[in-house]
Amino acid sequence: MAAGAGVLWRARELVDRSARQSPARLALGVFAAVIALITVLLEAPWATAHGESAPFIDALFTATSATTVTGLVVVPTGEYWSTWGLVVILVAIKIGGLGVMTLASLLGMAVSRRIGLTQRLLVSSETKVTRLGEVGSLVRTVIVTSTILEVAIAIVLLPRFHMYDEDWGTAAWHAIFYGVSSFNNAGFVPTPEGLSPFVSDWWVLLPIIVGVFIGSLGFPVILNVARSLREPRRWSLHAKLTITTSLGLVVAGSVLVAAFEWTNGGTFKDLDPSGTALASLFAGVMPRSGGFSTVDVGQMHESTWLLMDALMFVGGGSASTAGGIKVTTLAVMLLAIVAEARGDRDVEAYGRRIPRDALQVAIAVSLISATFVLVSSLLLLAMTGERLDTILFEVISAFATCGLSTGITPELPDGAKYVLTILMFIGRTGTMTLAAALALRNRRRVIRLPEERPIIG
């Protein structure tokens, strides 16, 4: 007993010291440790359907894709992995959906049985909560809320899967898997054929669409709206920007996908009007970071790929299960452009003034993200003989933790798979979190230099 208490005390000291010295590094370390553990589990012979150990790169890629809730795969999920392997993947999705900072804070709670100030700051930075006193209850609320929504989706899907000649046990397993995978924007499917048999089935696809969309909004938005559901005026600026921008992107994306693919024989041409409307809506929501597909993405037109590149790069809401630069980042930059065009001094929205440092962070996130995409695309082009449009699609899908694919990922050489693995990790942990983790020191300058305005444009 004394030895166990000593181990817990030393572990608590290690976590607290790491949190004080570099909270971001602690979070990244915890996330990397989870990926390493999932990789080891997926390498076990019992994790594969054929009973042999998976190659390291396949296990690592799948573990990273599941933990970062991406959905890109190098082996067919429903065929290659056993039921136990799928359970490991599902657990990784659930853990990854909680978020980097929240996960690190949960470790601190497990070790010290309390949330200290540093752990509260960790969760606050992930969930965008400003009152530290709420963080302890927020962590529990996030877990409970996400689980309730996942179960709700599963309950809706269960009878429909049973109608497709599945026994109740199989239907329940598929419903739970899709419930967790959709809310966490993971994009993993437990069956070889995926969702293509349900391309025109509103009963199956609509709950998945709703789950992906709600999950992409982020916990701050979900909780804020839930507390003031009947009083939209009391919603925070962040919630309003996230919801309006997300809805705008979904509508625009769905309409444009329908326009581009309406006559495409490989995707929408053979669908009836109701099926086309559903497939278009589905394709408009999935680039939020959902990653599911009901038609062959590789058969889509290049114009649709480019549209999805843009939608995936933007992604979903901050502190959500989605990736990308986040919709609020796009909203702040668009509002800044409008303010500049009008000659306004301040950037304003919904009766509030957005501080200048928010715009600076938005620009930094966008440029850093674009740089990662550019460098990764150049590396993959050098490693493979694939075209730029397909490489760019896979790279953005990996960075934005989306999971949509043109189908080239399984055929990539191991070096290219390692690049995508690193990109998924960076995309999930966040460019700003990574920058903070790698920063050696923070500079606070007392003396400010004289101001001089350069010529822009």
Nearest-5° angle of CA 209, CA 349, CA 456?
105
Name the phi and psi angles at 290, rounded to 5: -65, -50
> Residue 438 pLDDT more than 60?
no
**Confidence at residue 114, expressed as pLDDT on a 0 to 100 scale:** 53
What are the residue ranges spanned by the domains of the chain?
2-438
Percent of the chain at pLDDT > 70 equals 82
Confidence of residue 44 (pLDDT cuts 50, 70, 90): very high
> Residue 286 pLDDT more than 70?
yes
**Confidence at residue 151, expressed as pLDDT on a 0 to 100 scale:** 96
> Residue 104 pLDDT more than 90?
no
Tell me the pLDDT of the chain averaged across its residues: 86
Summarised one tens digit per residue, pLDDT across range 341-358 is: 998 889 999 989 998 888
Residue type, 157: L
Range with lowest mean pLDDT among 329-343, 400-414, 438-452 = 438-452
Instruction: State the average pLDDT over residues 58-82.
Output: 95
**Confidence at residue 175, expressed as pLDDT on a 0 to 100 scale:** 96
Specify the pTM: 0.89
Distance between CA 425 and CA 423 in Å, rounded? 5
Distance between CA 309 and CA 331 in Å, rounded? 18
Q: How far is CA 24 from CA 93, 262, 287, in A?
A: 21, 46, 27
Number of Cα atoms under 13 Å in the Cβ half of residue 431: 22
Per the model's pLDDT, the better-predicted residue between 202 and 7 turns out to be 202
Per the model's pLDDT, the better-predicted residue between 118 and 325 turns out to be 325
Percent of the chain at pLDDT > 90 equals 63
**Taking the C-alpha atoms of 7, 13, 18 and 20 in order, what is their torsion angle to the nearest 10 degrees?**
160
Summarised one tens digit per residue, pLDDT across range 121-175 is: 555 555 555 555 555 566 777 788 889 999 999 999 999 999 998 899 999 999 9
Long-range contacts of 109-115 (CB under 8 A, 24+ apart): 109/139, 111/8, 111/11, 111/12, 111/15, 112/12, 112/15, 112/16, 115/139
Summarised one tens digit per residue, pLDDT across range 370-398 is: 999 999 999 999 999 899 999 999 999 99
> Residue 9 pLDDT more than 80?
no
The number of angstroms, rounded, from the C-alpha of 84 to the middle of its chain's C-alpha atoms is: 24
**Confidence at residue 121, expressed as pLDDT on a 0 to 100 scale:** 54
> Residue 399 pLDDT more than 90?
yes
Range with lowest mean pLDDT among 88-102, 135-149, 217-231, 359-373 = 135-149
For residues 325 and 315, the answer to whether their CB atoms sit within 8 Å is yes
Distance between CA 216 and CA 361 in Å, rounded? 20
Residues 6 or more apart whose CB falls under 8 angstroms from that of 254 comprise 280, 281, 283, 284, 285
Range with lowest mean pLDDT among 5-9, 24-28, 114-118, 451-455 = 114-118
Distance between CA 59 and CA 39 in Å, rounded? 5
Distance between CA 138 and CA 143 in Å, rounded? 9
> Residue 1 pLDDT more than 50?
yes
Parallel, antiparallel or unpaired: strands 347-349 and 352-354: antiparallel
Confidence of residue 106 (pLDDT cuts 50, 70, 90): low
Q: Which residue has the tokens 């408009």?
A: 284
Q: How far is CA 203 from CA 156, 199, 261, 278, in A?
A: 8, 11, 23, 11
**Confidence at residue 440, expressed as pLDDT on a 0 to 100 scale:** 43
Comparing C-alpha atoms, which of 390, 407, 188, 426 is closest to residue 309?
Answer: 390
- How big is the chain, counted in residues? 457
Summarised one tens digit per residue, pLDDT across range 306-342 is: 999 999 999 998 878 888 999 999 999 999 999 999 9
